[in-house]
């Protein structure tokens, strides 16, 4: 595995629609592994192939849904953190959106030091292929739905700043959690 360079604005690849993947060969498997390593080292919770200078429809997402906090009156010990779950989606397509939308703060590894308020669908259903070309379907909500929408936008040349109601520079860019 090799950590790849993350492409940043104004690189034009970030504005291109990525091509569908049709070959599930060793090169693709190497790209998937490299993207996972790059995302983890960044650190981020998602990464799209155009962000590593490959204009193909591939995203990786790794995130653990947070447990609800114990209420103060509960005597039980705190639960250990949930393990992160890794998703690899090829040629992903959002096939169903919830009507409900929520606003949240996003950042992006390709636009360092910037965050913005972005309204996204609360829940989505995604169809695509796994890293071996087998059909895959996901239903996600909350923060996971936000991450997947953000990464799929990258495959269409759309950045979170295009959807943001408000964008701002961070005083301390190192403190930001970047989506991807």
Question: Does residue 30 form part of some domain?
Answer: yes
Residues in a beta bridge with 119: 103
Question: Does residue 70 form part of some domain?
Answer: no
Buried b (16+ CB within 10 A) or exposed e, 25-42: eeebeebbebbbbbbbeb
Question: Does residue 2 form part of some domain?
Answer: no
Distance from the Cα of residue 50 to its chain's centroid: 12
Question: Does residue 166 form part of some domain?
Answer: yes
Question: Does residue 143 form part of some domain?
Answer: yes
| Ramachandran region, residue 57 (left: φ > 0; alpha: ψ -120 to 50; beta: rest) | beta
53-90 pLDDT per residue, tens: 999 999 999 998 764 444 445 556 666 667 889 999 99
Question: Does residue 35 form part of some domain?
Answer: yes
Question: Does residue 43 form part of some domain?
Answer: yes
Q: Token pair of 2, please?
A: 């090799």
Domain span at residue 137 reads 12-65+78-175
Secondary structure (DSSP) of 109-146: TTSTTEEEEEEEESEEEEEEE-TTS-EEEEEEEHHHHH
Question: Does residue 72 form part of some domain?
Answer: no
Per-residue pLDDT of the chain in tens (180 residues, 90 and over written 9): 899 999 999 999 999 999 999 999 999 999 999 999 999 999 999 999 999 999 999 999 999 876 444 444 555 666 666 788 999 999 999 999 999 999 999 999 999 999 999 999 999 999 999 999 999 999 999 999 999 999 999 999 999 999 999 999 998 766 555 567
> Which residues are marked as active site?
151
pTM of the model: 0.88
| Domain count of the fold of the chain | 1
* Domain at 160, CATH number: 3.90.45.10
């Amino acid at each position: 595995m090799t950590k790849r360079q993350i492409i940043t604005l104004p690189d034009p690849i970030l504005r291109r629609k990525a091509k569908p993947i049709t070959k599930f060969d060793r090169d693709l498997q190497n790209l998937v592994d490299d993207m996972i390593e790059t995302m983890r080292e960044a650190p981020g919770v998602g990464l799209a192939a155009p962000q590593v200078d490959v204009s193909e429809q591939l995203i990786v997402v790794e995130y653990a849904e947070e447990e609800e906090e114990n209420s103060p009156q509960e005597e039980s010990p705190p639960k250990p953190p949930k393990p992160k779950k890794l998703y690899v989606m090829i040629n992903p397509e959002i096939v169903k959106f919830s009507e409900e939308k929520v606003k949240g703060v996003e950042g992006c590894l390709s636009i360092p030091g910037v965050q913005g308020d972005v309204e996204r669908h609360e829940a989505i259903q995604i169809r695509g292929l796994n890293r071996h070309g087998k059909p895959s379907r996901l239903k996600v909500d909350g923060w996971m739905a936000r991450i997947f929408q953000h990464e799929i936008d990258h495959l269409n040349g759309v950045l979170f700043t295009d959807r943001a109601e408000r964008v701002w520079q961070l005083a301390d860019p190192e403190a930001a959690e970047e989506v991807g």
